[in-house]
């Protein structure tokens, strides 16, 4: 779990994935047939099986996490933010953040809160209102002159949260989708004698519309696309059982559909059959709202059979995301088995 800790704690919002990419590239250096970064910033790691005519399989895991860019610096030095990705403002009160100040190269700790009165002096009506996302600001504890000497509009702002191993599960920030990056790295490390050519693509800008996977798939021209991502595990108090999507610890999730993709049906059948045969814990997932890189791969070029292998996560898009080690291992085992056996002849 040390690698997952490093993946969780490194920062990279959409378009600013360089630190994540450097960490992943350092894990892969010399261990794959090809390692290159494309113009968008996707990291492509290729493993060839040496069989002529082998299926080309693209497996995508996104490097970016939801976060912010500096949108405005006011005359007292407070920062206003542009969000990148879907935040729930109720999860953003009283947070520490890191501001990557590009003018002086420093990493500055700040605190984030919504504009408005503290509880001691607010009315019941004021307390009941959830503040809009654009009322949140960052306080660096510095005056405007010192802030402006270091921080520029467009600089990256990330939430700070240490990773924690709770035994059966881990919790931390950015597990969406560093959990997917971990599964892909683990698979690359364990893969022996694959039946396909593997194009492992660590993608950029997924959280703002599957942008990296779109150009990545165009370049790779895969025969099959598999996205690795997290999905909702809403198996928490006071939620109706039929709304839970997946259950934490219930196994890797084979996605049937979400709002970006209806998974290619023969791939659903093939992964279910494989999980059954290998006795890997799995669950089927229908997610009413949300998408993955499979959406971009499936619609690339002339269309590509595509699916997502998801890792159930509680508290998605907060800094307390929680995933189960059992589900992570099952996801890596299922992906490895598929790459070793190759797609079934009968589709
Ligand atoms: Zn994701």
Predicted TM-score (pTM) of this structure: 0.96
8 A C-beta contact, residue 9 and residue 160? no
Res 291: pLDDT: 95
The model's confidence at residue 90, banded by pLDDT at 50, 70 and 90, is confident
Q: Given the residues 17, 65, 192, 206, select the one marked as catalytic.
A: 206
CA 83–ligand 1 middle distance (angstroms)? 16
8 A C-beta contact, residue 185 and residue 27? yes
Coil, strand or helix at 259: coil
CA 176–ligand 1 middle distance (angstroms)? 5
8 A C-beta contact, residue 338 and residue 274? yes
CA 209–ligand 1 middle distance (angstroms)? 11
The model's confidence at residue 192, banded by pLDDT at 50, 70 and 90, is very high
What angle separates helix 325-341 from helix 175-190, to the nearest 10 degrees? 50
Residue 67, beta-bridge partner list: 84
CA 204–ligand 1 middle distance (angstroms)? 11
The per-residue pLDDT of the chain, averaged, comes to 96
The lowest-confidence range among 15-24, 132-141, 153-162, 258-267 is 132-141
Rounded Cα–Cα distance for residues 140 and 74 (Å): 12
Res 14: pLDDT: 98
The residue among 121, 117, 316 whose CA lies nearest residue 230 is: 316
The arithmetic mean of pLDDT across residues 141-149, rounded, is 97
Token readout for 18 is 């360089």
The arithmetic mean of pLDDT across residues 165-185, rounded, is 98
8 A C-beta contact, residue 32 and residue 189? no
Rounded Cα–Cα distance for residues 290 and 62 (Å): 14
The arithmetic mean of pLDDT across residues 127-155, rounded, is 93
Coil, strand or helix at 202: strand
CA 82–ligand 1 middle distance (angstroms)? 19
8 A C-beta contact, residue 77 and residue 140? yes
pLDDT at 131 over 90: no
CA 62–ligand 1 middle distance (angstroms)? 7
Query: In the 8-state DSSP scheme, what is residue 78?
Result: P
State which H helix or E strand residue 208 sits in.
none
pLDDT at 186 over 90: yes
Rounded Cα–Cα distance for residues 254 and 337 (Å): 14
Question: What is the tens place of the pLDDT at every residue in 283-341?
Answer: 999 999 999 999 999 999 999 999 999 999 999 999 999 999 999 999 999 999 999 99
8 A C-beta contact, residue 151 and residue 73? yes
CA 345–ligand 1 middle distance (angstroms)? 31
Rounded Cα–Cα distance for residues 311 and 334 (Å): 12
Residue 83, beta-bridge partner list: 68
Question: What is the tens place of the pLDDT at every residue in 17-69?
Answer: 999 999 999 999 999 999 999 999 999 999 999 999 999 999 999 999 999 99
Tell me what percent of the residues of the chain surpass a pLDDT of 90.
Answer: 90
Q: Known catalytic residue: 206?
A: yes
């Amino acid at each position: 779990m040390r690698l997952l800790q490093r993946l969780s704690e490194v920062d990279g919002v959409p378009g600013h994935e360089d630190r994540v990419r450097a960490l992943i590239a350092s894990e892969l250096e010399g261990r794959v047939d090809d390692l290159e970064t494309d113009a968008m910033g996707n990291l492509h790691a290729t493993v060839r099986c040496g069989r002529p005519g082998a299926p080309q399989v693209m497996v995508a895991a996104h490097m970016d996490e939801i976060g912010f860019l500096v949108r405005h610096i006011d005359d007292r030095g407070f920062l206003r933010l542009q969000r990148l990705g879907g935040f729930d403002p109720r999860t953003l009160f009283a947070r520490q953040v890191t501001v990557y100040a590009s003018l002086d190269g420093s990493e500055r700790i700040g605190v984030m809160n919504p504009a408005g009165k503290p509880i001691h002096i607010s009315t019941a009506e004021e307390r009941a209102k959830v503040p809009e996302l654009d009322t949140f600001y960052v306080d660096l504890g510095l005056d405007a002159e010192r802030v402006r000497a270091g921080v520029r509009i467009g600089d990256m702002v990330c939430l700070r949260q240490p990773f924690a191993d709770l035994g059966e599960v881990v919790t931390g920030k950015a597990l969406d989708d560093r959990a997917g990056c971990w599964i892909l790295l683990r698979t690359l490390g364990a893969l022996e004698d694959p039946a396909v050519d593997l194009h492992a693509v660590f993608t950029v800008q997924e959280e703002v519309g599957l942008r990296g996977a779109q150009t990545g798939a165009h370049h790779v021209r895969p025969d099959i696309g598999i996205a690795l991502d997290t999905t909702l595990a809403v198996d928490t108090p006071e939620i109706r059982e039929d709304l839970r999507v997946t259950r934490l610890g219930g196994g890797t999730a084979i996605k049937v559909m979400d709002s970006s993709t209806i998974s290619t049906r023969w791939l659903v059948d093939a992964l279910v059959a494989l999980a059954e045969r290998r006795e890997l814990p799995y669950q089927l997932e229908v997610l009413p709202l949300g998408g993955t890189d499979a959406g971009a791969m499936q619609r690339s070029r002339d269309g590509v059979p595509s699916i997502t292998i998801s890792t159930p996560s509680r508290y998605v898009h907060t800094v307390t995301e929680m995933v189960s080690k059992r589900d992570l291992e099952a996801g890596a085992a299922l992906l490895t088995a598929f790459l070793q056996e190759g797609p079934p002849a009968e589709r």
